[in-house]
Amino acid sequence: MPVESHPLKPFLPSSAKILLLGSFPPPKERWKINFYYPNFQNDMWRIFGLVFFGQKDYFILKEEKTFDELKIRSFLKNTGIAIYDTAEKVNRKKGNASDQFLQIVELSDIPGILSKIPLCNTIVFTGTKSMNALMNSQGEKKVVPIGGFAENIFGNRKVNCYRMPSSSRAYPLAIEKKAQFYKDLFLSVGMEMI
């Protein structure tokens, strides 16, 4: 199987206090924007719309059936949220975005990424695979429930690592319940809801 390298650069606002880590982007043909969570069937930006603005469609351009990439980037920068993925290189066992069929070939350099965002002390894993892959690479065998967190060390930095439900529609939980997990997390780390 061909090895895919990550197609995006880490999004790292200098003021970021939170690093959102997924697993790996979907195949390019599913992209609606040239940014993270680009598949229109993925609900991450709908979850963020609900959490911060009370509107599921806040980041959607309805006429084009796509996300408003500039609005998303501006929001994340102003809010202090960085984004990348746990995997730097993968083999895709099937031609879809499912974590179940991703084989991680190379993990991302998370200590290196954290060194570029010195205010960050919170990592939010947007699914089980992203969290387990990184934690297992460090010899951590903690089972963290959805909505829970574990303290970890990356490089020389102590970081709280939260496990959130996947924003994929394949994950069987209503979007409103997923949004509540994210809202509780953001409130617990002192983020203001608009």
How do residues 27-50 score in pLDDT, each as one tens digit? 888 899 999 999 999 999 999 999
Domain of residue 26: give its range.
8-87+109-188
CB atoms within 10 A of CB 56: 17
How far are the Cα atoms of 13, 104, 142 from residue 45, in angstroms, in the given order? 18, 25, 29
CATH number at residue 162: 3.40.470.10
What's the pLDDT at 192? 77
Domain membership flag for residue 27: yes
The DSSP bridge partners found for residue 5 are 89
Q: How many domains does the chain have?
A: 1
User: Residue 140: which pLDDT band, with cuts at 50, 70 and 90?
Assistant: low
**Mean pLDDT, to the nearest integer, of 90-112?**
81
Say if residues 55 and 64 touch (Cβ distance below 8 Å).
no
pLDDT at 128 over 90: no
Q: Is 179 helix (H, G, I), strand (E, B) or coil?
A: helix
Does some domain include residue 70?
yes
pLDDT averaged over the chain? 90
pLDDT mean over 58-72: 95
Residues 6+ apart with CB under 8 A from 55: 49
Is 73 among the domain residues?
yes
Distance of CA 63 to the CA centre of its chain: 26
pLDDT number for residue 93: 80
Given a contact cutoff of 8 angstroms between Cβ atoms, the answer to whether 182 and 49 are in contact is no
Q: Is residue 35 part of a domain?
A: yes
Contacts 24+ apart (CB under 8 A), 137-144: 137/107
Structure token pair of residue 102: 């991703």
The pLDDT assigned to 6 comes to 94
Domain annotation covers residue 95:
no
Confirm whether 67 is domain-assigned: yes
Of 60-64, 77-81, 108-112, 152-156, the one with minimum mean pLDDT is: 152-156
Res 95: pLDDT: 64
Confidence band of 97 (pLDDT split at 50, 70, 90): low
**45 and 18 Cβ atoms separated by less than 8 Å:** no
Encoding tokens for residue 192? Answer: 């203001």
